[in-house]
Chain A
C-alpha cells in the first residue's frame, strides 16, 4: 500500500472539507443556526468563480487569473452567506423554536437557490481553469501535483488568516463572545444581527473557497454542493459542533478514512465506512470529538 499517496490525499481532502466544516461549526456555535444551505452557497460560489473565469479572466494577465477566480468564488460565497443570514437568521433568531425553524428555513433557501441556479445556468456542468497551473513536484516516493499543493496551501493559509483574525481582532472577539454566551454578549453591547452578518459572510467565504478548490477536481453543477455539504456537516458533527479544533481533527480522521477506503475497498464504500466511523465516534462521545455539552451553550 502506498502510504505516502494515502496521506497526501487525506490531507488534501481534509483541507477542503475541513474548510467547509469549520464554517458550519462556527455558524452553529455563534448563531445557533444549523446552516443546511451550504449546498446552495457552494454551487453559487462555484458559478461565481466560473463567471469570473469566463468574463473577467481573459482580460487579465495569466498570473492574476487564478487569484481572481478564487477571489470571485470567495466573494460570491460571502454574498450567499449574507443572503442566507438576511433570510433565515435575521427574521426569526429571536422567535420561538428558532433552531428548528432556522434549519428548515435554510433547507428552503437551499431548494429555492439550487432550482434558480438550475433555471439560470441549465443542467450542464461547467469547469474552472486550473488555477494552480499544471506543474508537478516529484519527491522520493510520491508525486505532488500543483493543484494538490495549491489546495493545501491556500486552504491552510486562508484558514490561518481567518482564525488569526478571529483571535486578534475586535470583530473576532465579538464572534468568540457570541460563541461562548450569546445572551451575555448581547448584554455587553455586541449586536447579534451585525455579528450574524459577519459570521455568515466569513463562513460563506470559506464555503466559496472550498467550492473553488474542489472544482479543481470535480465539475460545477447546480446540485454539486450536496455531497460536500453532507461531508462537511458530518465532519463538523463528528468533531463536535462549535469546536474548530475538533473539526480539524475530524477532517483529518475522515480524510484519512476516505483515502484508505478508496484505495483498499473502492470509492463506492467511502460513505459507508465514513458513516460507520461517525456513528462509532458519536456513540462514544455524543457531542463529537471536542464538542461542548448543550448545557454549556444555552442559546
Chain B
C-alpha cells in the first residue's frame, strides 16, 4: 500500500512543487529497537576482571626500592599505578608468595608450642622427618627442576654420605659437627662420579641409570660387613642432641635443628634457582638445549655445576641425618623411599620450592602421622600421585596456571561463538577500547542504519530524482539527514568540471591539504542529476553496509 505525501509548499506556488507524491508507509523506529533488543546474539560474560586486590595508594613514593641482602629482590613486588576511572593512586601486590612463605614458616616455628601432649611424640618425630626430607627434596628439585636432569640418585647420595659419616664417627670418634662436613665430601665425590655420565646421557637413560645406582648402593651397603648388614643399618654415631636433656626438650631441639636445615636448603635453592645459574638453566630446558646453546648459553657447565652443588648439599644433609638419628638404616636406599620422594616432588609440582616443601608435608602427614591406617596410607599416597599426574600439569602449585589457561580457553571459545558483528563491537574489541562511548555509538548507528534500510523504496528514489533539494516526505528527509551527518572522510561531494555544464562525483579525503579522489568517470550535465547520483551511491552504500 502506498501512502501519499502532501507537499505543504504547494499552496505557496513554489516552482516545480507537486501537490501529492506517493511515499512509504510509516515505519516506527521502535520496531527496530525492539528487534535489536531481542537479538539472538547471546551476550556472554567475556570481559576482563581485575584479579588482584587493589590496595589504597601510598602517597608520593611510587616505587618500593628496598631490597634484601644479598639478593637484588625487593621485599614485596609492589606495582604502583593510577586507577583509570577515579585517578586515585593504587598499589598492587603482584607476587604474594613471600607473604605465604613467611606465614607458613612462622606456623612451623610456633607449632611445637601448640600441639597437644598426646600427639607430641608422633608430631615431633614427623616434624623432624619433614624438615630433613624437605631439605633433601629442595636439593633434588634443583637437579630435577632447575637443571632438568632426571636424576633419581639423591637418596643414594644422602644414604652413602650418612653411612660413611656414621662409620667414621664410630671408628674415628668424630664429633657430631664434623659429620655434615664428612658427608659433604662424600657428596662431592658422588656428585662428580654421577655427573660424568650426565654429560653424555639425558632423559630416561639417565633416570634409569641413576635408579640403578641407587639399587647398587643399597646392595653394596646391605652386603658389606663393616656397614652392619646384620642390624638393618649402622647406628652409634655421635649426635648433637645432649643425652642428659629431657626427652621433650631433645625432641624439640631435633625439630628446630631440622627446621633450620630446611631453612638452609631453602636459602640454597633461592641462591641457585633465583640467580644467574638458575636463569641460565631456565633458558635451556630439556629438548630446547640447541636453542640455548645457539644463544651462547653453556648449559652443560651450568648443569654439572648445579648437580655438584646439590650433591654436596645432599651429602651435608646425609651427615646431618647421621648425627640426628645417630646412624642410618638401609631403608634410605629402598625403591619405596625414592618413590615416596618422587611423590613428594610430583604432588607439590616440579620446579618450585613451595612444591617441594608442601608436597613433603602432605606425604609426611600421610606416611608418618596417620600410621594407624596401615598399608592404606601408601595406597592413598599412590592415588594422590596418580591423580596429580593424570589431571594436573604442574602439581598442586600449577593448579592456578592451569585454571587460568582453561578459563582463557573457555573465554576464547565463547568469543568465537560471536561471529556476527553487525555494527557492534566484538567483546574483545569492546574491552580493549578506552572510549566506551564508541561501543554505544556503534550500537546506535547499527540500529539507525537498520531502520533507514526499511525506508528505501522506488517512490523515495523517484521523489529525490524529481527534486533533490527542498521540502521532502518524512522518509526521504530522514535518509538525507543521516547522509548529511556522515563523517568527512570518504564523504561524497560534487565538483564542477565546467560551470552549468559538467559535474562529477568525488570523495573527500577528510584531511586538510589532501585532495579529494575521483570515484567515477561519469559526467553529469546538471547539478540536480549530480545530486541524485550522490544520493544513489549513498543509498547503495547504506544497503550494502
Which A residues are closer than 8 A to B by beta carbons?
28, 34, 39, 87-88, 91-92, 95-97, 99-101, 103-105, 107-112, 115-116, 118-119, 226-227, 230, 233-234, 237, 241, 268, 271-272, 275, 278-279, 282-283, 286-288, 294
30 pairs across A/B with beta carbons < 8 Å?
A39-B335, A88-B390, A92-B389, A99-B203, A100-B350, A101-B389, A103-B204, A104-B342, A104-B389, A105-B386, A107-B339, A107-B342, A107-B385, A108-B386, A109-B382, A112-B378, A112-B386, A115-B375, A115-B379, A119-B379, A226-B335, A233-B212, A237-B204, A271-B212, A271-B216, A272-B216, A275-B216, A278-B209, A282-B200, A282-B209
CA distance A158 to B150 in the complex (A): 35
A104 neighbours in B (Cβ, 8 Å): 342, 346, 385, 389
With an 8 A cutoff between CB atoms, is B62 at the interface? no
Q: How far is the CB of B339 from chain A (nearest CB, A)?
A: 5
Q: Is the CB of B382 within 8 A of A115?
A: yes
Known A96-B393, A108-B343; contact A118-B216, beta-carbon cutoff 8 A? no
With an 8 A cutoff between CB atoms, is B219 at the interface? yes
Which B residues are closer than 8 A to A by beta carbons?
150, 196-197, 200-201, 203-205, 207-209, 211-213, 215-216, 219-220, 223, 335-336, 339, 342-343, 346, 350, 374-376, 378-379, 381-383, 385-386, 389-390, 393
Q: Is the CB of A91 within 8 A of B205?
A: no
A278 neighbours in B (Cβ, 8 Å): 209, 212
A108 neighbours in B (Cβ, 8 Å): 343, 382-383, 385-386, 389
CA distance A96 to B335 in the complex (A): 27
Interface centre among B209, B220, B389 (most CB of A within 10 A): B389
A88 neighbours in B (Cβ, 8 Å): 390
Q: Is the CB of B201 within 8 A of A286?
A: yes
CA distance A232 to B99 in the complex (A): 48
Q: How far is the CB of B335 from chain A (nearest CB, A)?
A: 5
Q: Is the CB of B342 within 8 A of A286?
A: no
Q: Is the CB of B390 within 8 A of A92?
A: yes
Enumerate the 6 nearest inter-chain pairs by beta-carbon distance, A residue then B residue, closest first: A112-B382, A111-B382, A108-B385, A108-B386, A268-B223, A105-B389
Q: How far is the CB of A178 from chain B (nearest CB, A)?
A: 18
By beta carbon, the residue of chain B nearest A117 is: B375
B211 neighbours in A (Cβ, 8 Å): 230, 233
CA distance A271 to B204 in the complex (A): 20
Question: B200 touches which one: A96, A112, A283 (CB < 8 A)?
Answer: A283
CA distance A136 to B496 in the complex (A): 120
A282 neighbours in B (Cβ, 8 Å): 197, 200-201, 205, 209
Q: Is the CB of A91 within 8 A of B381?
A: no
Q: Is the CB of B339 within 8 A of A286?
A: no
Q: Is the CB of A115 within 8 A of B197?
A: no
CA distance A279 to B198 in the complex (A): 11
- Extra contacts besides A92-B389, A111-B343, A233-B208 (20): CB < 8 Å: A99-B203, A100-B350, A103-B207, A107-B342, A108-B389, A111-B336, A111-B339, A111-B378, A111-B379, A112-B379, A112-B383, A116-B379, A119-B376, A234-B208, A237-B204, A272-B219, A272-B220, A278-B212, A282-B201, A286-B200
CA distance A279 to B381 in the complex (A): 33
A279 neighbours in B (Cβ, 8 Å): 197, 209
CA distance A115 to B197 in the complex (A): 33
CA distance A283 to B197 in the complex (A): 7
B205 neighbours in A (Cβ, 8 Å): 237, 241, 282, 286-288
B379 neighbours in A (Cβ, 8 Å): 111-112, 115-116, 119
Q: How far is the CB of A102 from chain B (nearest CB, A)?
A: 8
CA distance A119 to B393 in the complex (A): 31
B208 neighbours in A (Cβ, 8 Å): 34, 233-234, 237
CA distance A299 to B97 in the complex (A): 36
Q: How far is the CB of A155 from chain B (nearest CB, A)?
A: 23
Q: Is the CB of A91 within 8 A of B390?
A: yes
CA distance A34 to B207 in the complex (A): 11
Interface centre among B223, B346, B376, B386 (most CB of A within 10 A): B386
B385 neighbours in A (Cβ, 8 Å): 104, 107-108, 111
CA distance A282 to B201 in the complex (A): 8
Question: B204 touches which one: A99, A101, A109, A283 (CB < 8 A)?
Answer: A99
Q: How far is the CB of A247 from chain B (nearest CB, A)?
A: 14
Question: B219 touches which one: A92, A97, A116, A271 (CB < 8 A)?
Answer: A271
CA distance A265 to B211 in the complex (A): 24
CA distance A147 to B26 in the complex (A): 103
A110 neighbours in B (Cβ, 8 Å): 339
Q: Is the CB of B375 within 8 A of A119?
A: yes
CA distance A97 to B209 in the complex (A): 21
A99 neighbours in B (Cβ, 8 Å): 203-204
Q: Is the CB of A241 within 8 A of B216?
A: no
By beta carbon, the residue of chain B nearest A285 is: B200
CA distance A235 to B375 in the complex (A): 32
Interface centre among B374, B382, B383 (most CB of A within 10 A): B382
Question: A97 touches which one: B196, B201, B393 (CB < 8 A)?
Answer: B393
B389 neighbours in A (Cβ, 8 Å): 92, 101, 104-105, 108
Q: How far is the CB of A148 from chain B (nearest CB, A)?
A: 25
Q: How far is the CB of A16 from chain B (nearest CB, A)?
A: 18
CA distance A119 to B380 in the complex (A): 13
B201 neighbours in A (Cβ, 8 Å): 282, 286
Q: How far is the CB of A78 from chain B (nearest CB, A)?
A: 21
Q: Is the CB of A237 within 8 A of B209?
A: yes
Q: Is the CB of A275 within 8 A of B213?
A: yes
CA distance A259 to B196 in the complex (A): 28
Q: How far is the CB of A292 from chain B (nearest CB, A)?
A: 13
Interface centre among B205, B378, B383, B385 (most CB of A within 10 A): B205
B376 neighbours in A (Cβ, 8 Å): 119
A227 neighbours in B (Cβ, 8 Å): 215
